[in-house]
Structures are given as C-alpha cells and as structure tokens.
Structure 1
C-alpha cells in the first residue's frame, strides 16, 4: 500500500508500532557521584581523571549511574561512555570541555558520511548497549574561540576523506587527527543500541552536536540547544533505525534534524543499514533548516514520520530533502503532518541536484506525503521540487498547504505524479469577479 493511501488510523498505527518497538536502556540500580572520585565543579579544576576513575568503577560494577552535581566541571579530554551507564547531569551542572587537540585521541568515527579515524568526540561511545545521558545540566563544547578556527582550514582534509571513500581505501588507513583539521562532534555514539538522551542542553559544539551513527533503538526527548557555531547540526541520524525524537527545543546554527545514511560509494556499500523507522513529534524548530534528509543518504532513508511541530524563528528552509548524482540510494515513504513555520526563504525544497554535483548515481525520491503545513512567509520560493529527466521525483502528495506570502510560488521540474490539493500561496481566491 502506498503511503498516500494510508488512512489516519493506519498512519497512527505505523507510528505506534515504531514507538512500541523502541527499547529504553536498562541501567543497573547503582549510583556514584563524580565528587567521590575527586571531581570539583569550581570552573577551573581539570576533572578528566575524576571522570575516568568514576567510569572505571562503574565498569567493575557492570554499570550504573554517574551523577554530576551542580557546578562547572572543566574536562580536558573526552568522556568515553560504557555499556549499562547513565551519565546524569543534575540541574546546574555544566560540563565544559577543553580544546587542546592532543587531549583527544584517535577513535573510529565518521566525518560527513565517510568512516575514518579522527579526534575523539567530546562525549563518545562505540559498540555499547544500554546507555543514557540525562538530567537538566549542560554539555558545553566551548568551541567558538577554539575548534571553530579549524573551519577555514578543513577543505583539504574534507576532500581527502572523500577521495578515500571513492577509492575504497581501507578504513584503518584513513588517519586524521593531529596535523589535520576535521572538527570532532560534541556527542557521538557508534554501533550502539538502547539509547536515551533526555532533558540535557547542548551548547557551543565544535561540529555536529548529537550524532548517532549505526545505532538502533534510540529515544531523544526534552533536550534543548544553544549552539550557533559552523555546522552545529542539532541531531544527525546516520545509518540509524527505530528512533523517537520528541519535545525537543532547537536553537542551533545549522540543520535541526538531519537524517543521513552515508556518502557515495561507501554509503551504497552499506545499503543493508538505511536510516529508517523514525518518529519526530512535538518539537520546536529554530536554526538554519528544520527537517533535512541528506545530503549524505546513499544507503537510503525511509519510513519517517513527523507530526505536530512548529518553528519559533527564522529558518532558511523548513523541509529540505537534498541529494545529487554522486549519491545513489533513495528517499521514500516520508510522512509529514501538522507543521507550522514562520519566516523562511523556502518552505519546502526537495532536490535531486544538490550543489549541481555528481555523475552516474542518481538518487530516487518518491512517496512523500506532506499534510497540513502553514508558513507565514517564503522570501524565496514556497514549494520547490527538482528531479532529473532520467530520474524523476515521483509520488509527492501536498495537501492543505498555506503560505501566506511568497516571492515565488512554485518551481516543480522533472517530476511524476505530484498531487496537490488545497495549496494556497498568498490570498485564497474566492469566486471570480464579474464584468461591470
């Protein structure tokens, strides 16, 4: 059954099935405080050894909760999480990370869709199960005056990583880190399952804020952002399945939610792990773009449901699906319902020609259902859909869409079966005027 044929009952059943399948972490009933291991929240003491000791203690106990009381905890180096662990930041607790690159050892990670070894993300875990980060505290990357200075220097390494991807260079030979300029993520979990991220605030990230890479069974709820550095995406899901994102307050300098699935040759080689079965609901958007799929999506993205969200500020684009002829893969079975935007450049932008790049690997965009969306203003174009003559965007259904004011109405090219019902840009036309 095509998604456009789903009744409201069937749509809700699919959402409920995804949410029901997601498992919360099972954390042992054992709690320790960072202060018991020499932790000091005076804003100047280096707490790196205290965190390492506390986590080692949890490992001996097969897990538990590490609490961080109110205070500002400087940490010169990363926190590496373990399985069966909850890092709980109490109200008033701030983790403030140092930015000396030599304090962040090489770990297995990825950078813009390519696997490699780079400086450890500031909070990191690989091959974990049952892991949580909770509480009313703040994770502060302290990157505006430090890591951010790498942005103008990154291009050579970025291109090198993409060349390694295209050449299928063994991952163990893709060594970056010291002497290179690829900024680390603020929080990243890799190859992990049963994850809970709840109520924390993420600030001032070096690069992406929260990156889930090859993860499964993820709950993200009640978190907030104040992160306006370059490339400060809020949530990046990559090769990740069975995810609930709800009640998140975004305020970040790039994509609020970006759903990805690897880049180019490497992404297509991982086609057995698309990003799929994702529910987003009751979120408050503010940043560059609200909901993005791509541009790294070569393994495919499918079964995404977005419900009952709104924006509380300017967005360059509200809904933005982006791919090109380098990617391959697909975007399909996307269902968006009840979204309110304020000022945008473009309300919807669905393109298979991102940056005009690529050759030989068309992506397939199909089966997109967007219902009940309102937007106050589009200073660019209200609705953009761009396919290719030899790879058209197919089966897009737009119903009950209102854009109060737009410089341009629609730009729809190289498509098949785009169905529009109740699309109003500007003032709604009433009965025709008569000749007087």
Structure 2
C-alpha cells in the first residue's frame, strides 16, 4: 500500500498477516539485539575520594562566585587521580564554566543548586564544540567535558542555566552567525578558522560531553538552559536515568546524542520547550565527511512532555541506526509523538528503528516521517527504511495519526505498523512516496465490531 490520504474520523482495521517475524508482538530478534546493546552499556565506577566543595571556599549564599572553588576542587581531583566533588545544600553562583576531567563525579546533594552567571565574557576563551551539527569554536558549554573518561553528574540537586533573560534572547540575533557556520560546513573551511564566541550570538549548551567515554548523569534536575540541555557528542557508553527537565527557553532539547553510541536513557521526566530526545549525526557535508553513525540508543520507561517526544534528525547526515523506544508514556502534551525528519541536503540514512509500547495523550501528529523537512534541499536524499512500530497508542490526534512523506527519487520503505490504536484523528493516514508499508491490527477512530443486520 503506497498511499492512504485524508481518511477523516474513519475507523480502520487492516489485518495483513505476514510470515515475517518482525511483525510479532514480541520479536525475538529485536529483543536479542536490544539486550546485546544493553550489555555494552555500563555506568562508570565512582571515585572513593570525597571532595567537599566548601573546603575550597564555596558558599551557597547565591551571591558568592564559586567558580574559583570549583577550579580548586578539580585541581585536587586531578592530583588524586579522580574525585567525587560533593556540593552541599545551598545556592551556588558560578561565573563561568565547569570543565570536568576524567574520573570526576559532580555530586549535587538534595537542596544544592548551581546557578550560572549571565556575563558572556565568563565563558571565554572559546572552546571546540559543535553547533547545530557543525564543528566550531564558541562560548564554552556551562558544564563541559572534553576527551574525558569516567565522568558523572549525580545527586538530587538542580543545574540552573539562568538564561531566560540573557543567553536565551540571543535566538533573535543568531541568524548571521548561524548562516556563516553552515557556509563553513558546506565549504569545508578548516575548523581552526571557524571561530565564533565574542561578537556572535550562538548560544552555548548547558551540558556537553565531547569525545568522552563512560558517562553517567543521574537524578539531577536541569532548568533554564541557554540552548540544548545535554549534548552527547562523539561519545560512547552513556547512562542517563531519573533526570528531570524544566527547560522552557528556545531550543531547550533534553538529550541530543550526536555521532554517539551505546546510550541508555531511562526513567526520565521530560518537560521541555523543544524535543525531549533528538538523535543527530552531523549536518550536510561535514556529517557525511565525519561518517560516525549515531547508533545503539535505548530510550525506555520515560514520561514525554514538550514539543516532540523522540526525534531523529534533522541533522543526521552520518546516519542513525539501532534506536529502541520502549515502554514510554506521557507527562503532558507533545506536538508530535515520534518524528523522523530529514531533507535532501542531508544524505545518510535512518534505519532499524523500533518503537514498542509507547503511549501519548493529546498530540498534533502521532507518528511522522518526512524526507523533505522545511521543504528544502537537493542532491543528497536520505534512505529511510526498516522502521518497526508495535503497540503505539494516542488518545487524541489533532491533525494526522500516521504520516510518511518520502522523496520521489528515494522512497521511504519497509515500514511495519502493528497494534496501533488512536482514538480520534482529523486525518488517519497520509502516505506519499512510500512503499512496502505493512499493517497488522490498526484502529484509528472507533473500532468497528459486530456488523449491523437487516431488521
């Protein structure tokens, strides 16, 4: 079936029986593949060296600059070969970034709150980072780990980017530098010449792990971010659990894994003004050149709330594969539930995506694939195939329940829908440039039961 369109408020029951095991409710090959990935993900061991931040002059009075105390504590950790920096209850102003190093744990105890200062000069000199899929030098992320192993951020404290009235306002001014960065990407400008920072308005990330291994982020609350909340860049073996988000500024994505692999995101309470999880793999020329696939990512037992639940793209030019979204529900409204997006500037692929037992309440669109995001691009179509959606439920869909928008020269293919139930939708199904779409137990609208008979 290549196209269903504008089936408003109709109940659809399509039973297409296939011998292919991928349509089974419990797919042994999927479970085996997922469990093999889980076996590769192990949280780091935490250092036994306890470092009390207050021993280095820290004061949680919301007024004292605690940047010097953090720097001294990190020097102590370096001398000891690792350490666990304990941040007691209090409000800690920090005028500048925290640069984590290997074998260091930042332990924010319950009642502890880090509040980052709002002077951009404090986040210079510029550091190597990535901004919307392009490598460049920019203001330092507020918490930044570069080429570090065994790094953790734990505890029931809060990390507050304090950016609503400061860095967040840069969104309106970023266009010239955003355009310049993309031009440098397309022209393969040497990275050392891509210097932004002062005089530009590219907002820094709240937390970034760059070329790191063995990462844990657990129990903390992240709020008021200047840009993306947690950027996992060219990193591997990452565990994120029981994190909470209250992030409502522009582009406040929750987790953004990019060029990264072997990641477990579980038991998260999302509340973001943007994507809850956005899986990326570089933009356009640079992404294709870098060629590091984002893969082996498991998202489970989460509560979605915000713009979109789980997104792949749109910066995904190196490819994304082996993503599992399982046993998740909603904490509130999402514009779209599951959203796969690319355009013909990207290239790359999206494949082997598994969505199992996921529920949304009210959304604009339930499940959406587009190969023509923003209606732009040419020359590098994305290959999107092998997507398996089993037990997806939505209570109310304002616009479209299931959407596939392939590209005329690169159709979306091999998409399997099983056990889909959507109570109401303005448009049930809208598929264009799609092929080999398989349905097994699909109900959109009221289920049709025993047929009526003549009196």
Normalised by the size of structure 1, how large is the TM-score?
Answer: 0.98
> Of the two structures, which has the highest relative contact order with CA contacts closer than 8 Å and spacing of 6 or more?
2
The alpha-carbon distance between structure 1 residues 229 and 196, as it changes in their structure 2 partners (threshold 3 A), is: same
Tell me if structure 2 keeps the 8 A contact 1:261–1:296.
yes
Number of residue-to-residue matches in the alignment: 435
Structure 2 alignment gaps of length 5 or more: 1-19
- Determine which of 17, 40, 43 is the counterpart of 2:36: 17
Aligned to 2:153: 133
Tell me if structure 1 keeps the 8 A contact 2:134–2:283.
yes
SS in 2 for 1:313: strand
Structure 1 alignment gaps of length 5 or more: none
Distance, in Å, in 2 between the alignment partners of 1:203 and 1:2 is 43
Aligned to 2:279: 259
Aligned to 1:119: 139
Distance, in Å, in 1 between the alignment partners of 2:404 and 2:434 is 8
Q: CA RMSD in A?
A: 1.3
Aligned to 1:433: 452
The alpha-carbon distance between structure 1 residues 357 and 395, as it changes in their structure 2 partners (threshold 3 A), is: same
- Determine which of 221, 235, 238 is the counterpart of 2:255: 235
Tell me if structure 2 keeps the 8 A contact 1:263–1:327.
yes
Tell me if structure 2 keeps the 8 A contact 1:3–1:367.
no
Aligned to 2:222: 202
Distance, in Å, in 2 between the alignment partners of 1:213 and 1:3 is 31
Aligned to 1:416: 435
Aligned to 1:368: 387
- Determine which of 398, 404, 408 is the counterpart of 1:389: 408
For residues 24-57 of structure 1, the C-alpha deviation after alignment (integer angstroms, 9 at most, x for no partner) is 2233321111100000001111101010011011
For residues 348-375 of structure 1, the C-alpha deviation after alignment (integer angstroms, 9 at most, x for no partner) is 1111010011010000000000000110
For the pair 1:316 / 2:351, whether they are aligned, the reply is: no
Distance, in Å, in 2 between the alignment partners of 1:216 and 1:305 is 16
Distance, in Å, in 2 between the alignment partners of 1:399 and 1:10 is 16
Aligned to 2:323: 304
> 1:228, CA displacement in angstroms?
0.5
For the pair 1:65 / 2:84, whether they are aligned, the reply is: yes
For the pair 1:154 / 2:174, whether they are aligned, the reply is: yes
Distance, in Å, in 2 between the alignment partners of 1:293 and 1:92 is 35
For the pair 1:145 / 2:170, whether they are aligned, the reply is: no
Distance, in Å, in 1 between the alignment partners of 2:33 and 2:257 is 20
Tell me if structure 1 keeps the 8 A contact 2:173–2:201.
yes
SS in 1 for 2:180: helix
Tell me if structure 1 keeps the 8 A contact 2:23–2:418.
no
Tell me if structure 1 keeps the 8 A contact 2:205–2:230.
yes
> 1:99, CA displacement in angstroms?
1.3
Distance, in Å, in 2 between the alignment partners of 1:5 and 1:435 is 38
For residues 80-101 of structure 1, the C-alpha deviation after alignment (integer angstroms, 9 at most, x for no partner) is 0000000000000000000111
Normalised by the size of structure 2, how large is the TM-score?
Answer: 0.94
Q: Which deviates the most, 422-431 or 169-178?
A: 422-431
